[in-house]
């Protein structure tokens, strides 16, 4: 059994304007020490799914069905008290735009120490030492612990946020677009840091991003999401070299590749489907350039394109055998 298993996760937002299904029957798993990339455009349910894993959905968000098991315990069934032993302690998250998430009026060191005290991760005498160790771990000199966030550069703030996510020794860290606002050199440094931490701490990482390049650098497996559903799920090598879902294929050629700058770029026309107006059939059908009749009528099931390679597309071989 995997460390983290997500089965049939379905999430809806209940708002005044109606009920919107943001995540629909999502399945994936993550082993100890491995990393999973979750890829897709804005609005395809990546962040919603991650917030559900942390049980941090906004009030309007409802988990309609599904299970999230971490080491055999269903996180979705825990009471708030029980949850405390899991959230941040075993699974933690680096939020999108986390660089701006530090409190500007406290020193960075104090904010990390507070986290340690609150969770009683270490005896209170040890908090300062542990805090300094965390600084060391993420590559920020601990002499900067008593500086304020504004004295940090963007890359250092991101490192501080990683330190905070690691404060309670979690097994899994979810990083939501951890490098999006950083420039390429700092991005490379942060990716190296994540790789190193993964190796040293045997950490499992979920990396949420829309940048397939970043995923190729870091991840063992990739889950491509579209319209709240799994579009394709396989190991990294297969996704980049044997992708079968038209959406994945289009994503791969949507942006310049420095090793092949002459290649024709093909952006994906149109936009992801609005949640209040999902197409009746395949969610990608309106933007798909290889769709056939049945695509607009029926939501395709997840089919095995190869062992451990799932795709939700009728064109995948094996679909007809499944019927």
Partner 1 sequence: MNNTNLEVKDLRKLFPVHRGIVGSILRKSQRWVHAVDGISFNLDKGEILALVGESGSGKTTTGLCALGLVEPTEGKILLQGMDIVELAHGPRKQELRQKAQLIFQDPYESLNPRQTVFRAVSEALGVHKLAKNDKQKLEIAVSTLEDVGLKPASTFLHRYPEQLSGGQRQRVGIASALALNPSLLVADEPVSMLDVSIRAEILGLLLRLRKEHEISMIYITHDLASAAFISDRVAVMYLGKIVEIGPAKVVLKDPLHPYTRSLMSVIPIPNPRRRQTRTVLKGETPNPIDLPSGCRFHPRCPVAFDRCPNVQPELVDVGDHHQAACLLVDRQIP
Piece of the chain touching partner 1 by CB under 8 A; list 5-13, 127-135, 268-276, 305-313: 268-276
Member of 15, 84, 199, 213 binding partner 1 (CB under 8 A):
213
**Cα–Cα distance, 308 to 233 (Å, whole number):** 8
Q: Does 261 bind partner 1 (CB under 8 A)?
A: yes
Q: Does residue number 61 form part of the binding site for partner 1 (CB under 8 A)?
A: no
> Is 251 a binder of partner 1 (CB under 8 A)?
yes
Q: Does 42 participate in binding partner 1 (rule CB under 8 A)? A: yes
Applying CB under 8 A, the span of 24-32, 73-81, 88-96, 249-257 interacting with partner 1 comes to: 249-257
Stretch that binds partner 1, among 1-9, 153-161, 163-171, 299-307 (CB under 8 A): 153-161
Among 210, 245, 283, 309, binds partner 1 (CB under 8 A): 210
- Residues of this chain, 188-207, that bind partner 1 according to CB under 8 A: 188-189, 191-192
Binding residue (CB under 8 A) for partner 1 from 18, 256, 280, 318: 256
282 or 303, CB closer to partner 1?
282
Residues making contact with partner 1 (CB under 8 A)? 41-42, 153-155, 183-189, 191-192, 210-214, 216-217, 236-237, 240-241, 250-252, 254-259, 261, 265-269, 271
């Amino acid at each position: 059994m995997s460390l983290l298993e997500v089965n049939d996760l379905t999430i809806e937002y209940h708002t005044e304007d109606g009920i919107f299904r943001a995540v629909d029957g999502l399945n994936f798993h993550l082993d100890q020490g491995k990393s999973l990339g979750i890829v897709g455009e804005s609005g395809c349910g990546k962040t919603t799914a991650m917030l559900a894993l942390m049980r941090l959905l906004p009030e309007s968000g409802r988990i309609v069905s599904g299970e999230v098991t971490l080491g055999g315990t269903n996180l979705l069934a825990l009471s708030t008290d029980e949850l405390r032993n899991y959230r941040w302690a075993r699974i933690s998250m680096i939020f999108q735009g986390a660089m701006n998430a530090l409190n500007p009026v406290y020193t960075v060191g104090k904010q990390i120490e507070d986290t340690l005290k609150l969770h009683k991760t270490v005896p209170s005498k040890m908090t300062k030492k542990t805090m300094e160790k965390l600084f060391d771990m993420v590559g920020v000199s601990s002499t900067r612990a008593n500086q304020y966030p504004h004295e940090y550069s963007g890359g250092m703030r991101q490192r501080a946020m990683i330190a905070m996510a690691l404060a309670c020794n979690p097994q899994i860290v979810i990083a939501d677009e951890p490098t999006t606002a950083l420039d390429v050199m700092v991005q490379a440094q942060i990716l190296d840091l994540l790789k190193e931490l993964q190796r040293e701490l045997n950490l499992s990482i979920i990396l949420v991003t829309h940048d397939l390049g970043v995923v190729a650098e870091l991840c063992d497996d990739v889950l491509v999401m579209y319209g709240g559903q799994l579009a394709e799920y396989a190991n990294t090598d297969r996704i980049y070299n044997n992708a079968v879902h038209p959406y994945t294929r289009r994503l791969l050629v949507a942006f310049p590749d420095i090793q092949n700058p002459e290649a024709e770029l093909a952006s994906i026309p149109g936009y992801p489907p609005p949640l209040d107006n999902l197409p009746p059939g395949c969610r990608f059908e309106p933007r798909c350039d290889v769709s056939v009749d049945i695509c607009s009528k029926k939501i395709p099931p997840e089919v095995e394109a190869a062992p451990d390679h799932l795709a939700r597309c009728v064109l995948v071989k094996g679909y007809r055998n499944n019927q």
